[in-house]
Structure 1
Amino acid sequence: MKTKFIVTVFAVLLTLAFTSCETKKEKHEESITFPVTNPIQKDTIINQEYVSQIHAFQHIELRALEKGYLQNIFVDEGQHVKKGQLLFQIQPTIYQAEAQRAASEVEFAKAEYDNVKALANQNIVSQNEAVLAKAKLQKANAELQLAQTHLKFTEIRAPFDGIVGKFEDVRLGSLLDEGELLTTLSDNSKMWVYFNVPEAEYLDYAMQDKNSEKDHVHLKLANQQIFQEEGIIETIESDFNNTTGNIAFRATFNNPKGVLRHGQTGNILWPKELNNVTMIPQKATFEVLDKKFVFLVDEQGKINSQEVKIVGELDHIFLVKEGLKLNDNFLLEGLRKVQNGDHIEAEKVDPTSVIENLHLHAE
């Protein structure tokens, strides 16, 4: 019995030892090899992004030019109108009466002038009286033109093709004061997009050797879609904003389908060429307190963290300004499995193939 117990215990110990050896063997066989690679340098184009304000090419306020009751509204908010189209009508009764009175004065002054002129030609009256009669006629004509102008001002017409804005608390029968705001009118066929550029970037732009062609930009809308029309940078404001250190640029976009409206916001995407810029995969970096780091791997496989300065980004790629040399090896994958000071088995991966296949293997 005792012998049997000893044999059983021995068998168990042997099994445990064998299992332990197998586990160590498996661990040894499963030891991870980490891929490492180098940065590469290439010419590329990145989009500098700027918050922008979108304005209609023409955007004006329509105001009452005469005092009176609002008799008719011929359009609705948001309606497309043509140049010269009648929008509002102020009650014209008083102005019509004044115009008729002025017309009567003209007829009277003309008859008087014709009579005096005929008498002057016969030397019955002096030429001075004819001159005075002519002056009275001219004055009457001027007063008629003034009355007709006031009458014309009771009709508010569109000065250009555009879109009618919101009505500003005006309804049929409202008593309007001279100069009271009725609505706005926007010509959205072409849009002006304003964006602020920091002084350093302005200087880079201003000091370039430019040809006659203007820079083209794109517009990213609030829904993250890119507007279908390209814009052209046309003007720069004369003064810097001393508070922000920025200067305003203006890009012009055609708006054939009327997608853009006055007052919208978006982001200008301005393509910038970068020569021999250092590139690394985004997945090879980690972040600590808003700073980007990579794990450098030396010849002995030791890991050391290294901060990198990012100048821009593309899809799955960071563009590095400082922190890496072209011959530096950095950890490509498995960043969460290691820590600073660890030693690893490293397998070198061609950096060009890494960059070219990022979109296929992006984490």
Structure 2
Amino acid sequence: MSSVVPIKRRRPVIIIVTLVIAAAVTGVLGMSALGHDLLPAQQMRPVHEFVHLVGMKAMRLKESLVGMFGSYLRKHEEEVHKEHSRIVVTSPKIQDVVLTESFVCQIRSQRHIEVRALEGGYLQKIWIREGQSVKEGDAMFKILPVLYEAKLAAEKAEADVARMKWQFADTLAQKQVISPNEVELAKAERQKAQAKADLAQRELNFTNVNAPFGGIVDRLLQREGSLIKEGDILTTLADNSVMWVYFNVPERYYLDYMATRARHEKEDRIELVLANGQTFPQAGTIGAIEADFNNENGNIKFRADFPNPDALLRHGQTGTIKVRRPMKDAVLIPQRATFDILDKQYAWVLDQDDVAHQTLITIQNVLEDVFVIKSGLTVKDRFVLEGVRQVEEGAKVEYDFMDPAEALKNQKFHAE
């Protein structure tokens, strides 16, 4: 370690005098260089010799200082380069992991319908509120029934007349006043009149719109007193007890899933991450797979079913499906130990003589900063972790070995 010579303190007067003398000498030499000698020639010669001597000593001092600092800098650069070129080698680690696949999804109610008017007329009464929960059979709307009530009364009267004619004809037939055929004719007339009365009753019932199932009422599209036509939408009704969550998966995932469907259905945990980043507390199950692929993007739609006991999920929400599947004895390596050539992934693997060889590896899954290896590496192999760019094919490598467990800690660097 080099020592530092302390600089002695000098009195201000000495410093000022030294500066004045140096300025005077410099002025004299400067004027002499311009051809104006301030002193006689015999006196200027010693001055020039003195200045030359001082300049030579200054040059030697400069060369000495430059040599000292240059040596220090070269030594420091060599240490930095040596530290930078340090190569670290490790081995794959066998570990149980959880593989996660993420898919954007759309959330739908298992039943979501438009409630429409079955008959036209004035909307007399609205029994519900927007956002209200209703049960099956609850009254929702009532259309002004005056015309239908009058029609029903008339049809019932006709049915009563036909019934009395049939009874009178039956009495006459028993007394053999009329033939049995006339009795059958009267009976048919009665049945026809009764059918018209039943039809009028059903038309009157259509003016009362009831909930076909339990659910949540959406926005009301009509107001009391509105004149509506047959088929007009009054509101929508959603059954949110179970939510159907649709997400698209690529063909590769579909084929892998179908090849081991029983294991997937047993082991996979399906989670729903909502728009605020929180995970929905209920786990889902695969409820259906659509029949056709989308030819435009090559995907097929899966449906996951989620119980919704607290009615947190609503029709039309979006989120992210995360399919988590445990994998035992996975072969793991850090991503930064690999490099790409075209569309293939490689790693530098050392043989028993510490000679590096470029080795093709197949990646099964990607975790955060870690690759799950399908083929190309075994737990006994050694590969270059740090200094990947400094290794050449067939070159013998001097390295430091890092424990695989330590190499997988705090991975925040991706492949080079």
Normalised-by-shorter TM-score class: 0.7 to 0.9
2:316 counterpart residue number: 263
Equivalent residue in structure 2 for 1:114, among 167, 184, 209: 167
Instruction: Give 1:28 shift.
Output: 4.1
1:231 aligns with 2:284: yes
Q: Which has the larger radius of gyration?
A: 2
SS at match of 1:262: coil
CA contact (8 A) 1:293 1:305 kept: no
Deviations 1:217-242 (A, max 9, x none): 22233333322211111333334444
1:195 counterpart residue number: 247
1:207 counterpart residue number: 259
CA contact (8 A) 2:264 2:325 kept: no
1:218 counterpart residue number: 271
Q: How many angstroms apart in 1 are the aligned matches of 2:65 and 2:347?
A: 42
Q: How many angstroms apart in 2 are the aligned matches of 1:98 and 1:351?
A: 88
How does the TM-score come out when normalised to structure 1? Answer: 0.79
Equivalent residue in structure 2 for 1:93, among 135, 142, 146: 146
1:358 aligns with 2:414: no
Deviations 1:120-173 (A, max 9, x none): 3444444433333333322222111111100110111111111123445x3333
Q: Equivalences for 1:102-141 in 2 at 5 Å?
A: 102-141=155-194
Instruction: Give 1:47 shift.
Output: 1.6
Against the structure 1 CA distance between its residues 234 and 45, is the aligned structure 2 distance closer, same or farther, given a 3 Å change threshold?
same
Q: How many angstroms apart in 1 are the aligned matches of 2:344 and 2:163?
A: 90
1:50 counterpart residue number: 103
Bigger relative CO (Cα 8 Å, ≥ 6 apart): 1
CA-atom RMSD, angstroms?
3.9
Name the one with the larger helix percent.
2
After alignment, is 209-218 or 131-140 more displaced? Answer: 209-218
After alignment, is 249-258 or 321-330 more displaced? Answer: 321-330
Equivalent residue in structure 1 for 2:69, among 19, 39, 47: 19
Name the one with the larger strand percent.
1
2:10 counterpart residue number: none
Against the structure 1 CA distance between its residues 41 and 257, is the aligned structure 2 distance closer, same or farther, given a 3 Å change threshold?
same
1:176 aligns with 2:228: yes
How does the TM-score come out when normalised to structure 2? Answer: 0.71
Q: How many angstroms apart in 1 are the aligned matches of 2:374 and 2:70?
A: 50
CA contact (8 A) 1:216 1:233 kept: no
Amino acid at match of 1:204: D
Instruction: Give 1:96 shift.
Output: 1.0
Instruction: Give 1:296 shift.
Output: 4.1
Q: How many angstroms apart in 1 are the aligned matches of 2:214 and 2:261?
A: 40
Q: How many residues align?
A: 356
User: Please, which runs of 5 or more residues in structure 2 have no aligned partner?
Assistant: 1-49
SS at match of 2:163: helix
CA contact (8 A) 2:89 2:382 kept: no
1:329 counterpart residue number: 383
Instruction: Give 1:94 shift.
Output: 0.7
CA contact (8 A) 2:134 2:214 kept: yes
CA contact (8 A) 1:304 1:340 kept: no
After alignment, is 105-114 or 56-65 more displaced? Answer: 105-114
CA contact (8 A) 1:295 1:303 kept: no
CA contact (8 A) 2:104 2:248 kept: yes
2:304 counterpart residue number: 251
